[in-house]
Amino acid sequence: MKARTHKQDSRIIVYDAEWIHQPGKHLFSEQAWESSGCVVGQAPGRGSALFLETDFGSAVLRHYLRGGWAARFSRDRYVYTGFEQSRPLAEFNMLTSLYGMGLPVPQPLAAQCVRQGLFYTGDLITRRIPDVIPLAELSGSRKGGPEAWRAAGACIRSFHDHGIIHADLNARNILIADGNRVYLIDFDRAQIRRGATSLFQANLRRLKRSLHKFLDEEQLEYGWRQLLIGYNAGTG
């Protein structure tokens, strides 16, 4: 990782110079990527995330969007309190730390914060993890055996053992790859709080509520039991 900062008018970009050689607003322009034929897909869910094939490899471009009541006032603007406190930079730095620890997260490539008076908008580019399915789809997949569920539990435990609090641990932010390799994504607002047992348990409860949306009772009971076996074994 060779982290560099690029400033242009009201735009600040942080990027990995090992992969990004020409930082600029074009990196975060959905229209620019679409016109160049580099968009190969889009992620489901509330967030705006495009799958890209670029000269620096497969990547995901995500534009930060608000949810809940705040979205009624602004879909993508946040109060600006400084670049260092912006959500794109915070997530870029968090991913840089986790990736450096060897934890299974997407490799961070670039992030930007664009100031607009009292507000800002933001974007993040990460390496795309190939050939994965979200935990939400595990029951209907060839990867849906007990080993995959246990691997997911062990992966979550490895993050908790490092004190990582995922702010939105849901069934779409846990990805299963071949060989039951598991990755966590979306570390917006994540924290490092070592020994925060109550927050770790809250993470698990949030995940179980999320799985309720995708699995019937029998599938949920089976999958959750296997996940807890992996989590309690602590083999992540």
DSSP 130: P
Q: Is 132 in contact with 29 (CB distance < 8 Å)?
A: no
Specify the 3-state DSSP secondary structure of 202. helix
d(CA 18, CA 116): 30
The yes-or-no answer on residue 186 being catalytic is: no
d(CA 143, CA 30): 32
Specify the 3-state DSSP secondary structure of 18. coil
CB neighbours of residue 210 within 10 Å: 19
| Residue in 16, 76, 168, 188 annotated catalytic | 168
User: Which residues are part of the catalytic machinery?
Assistant: 168
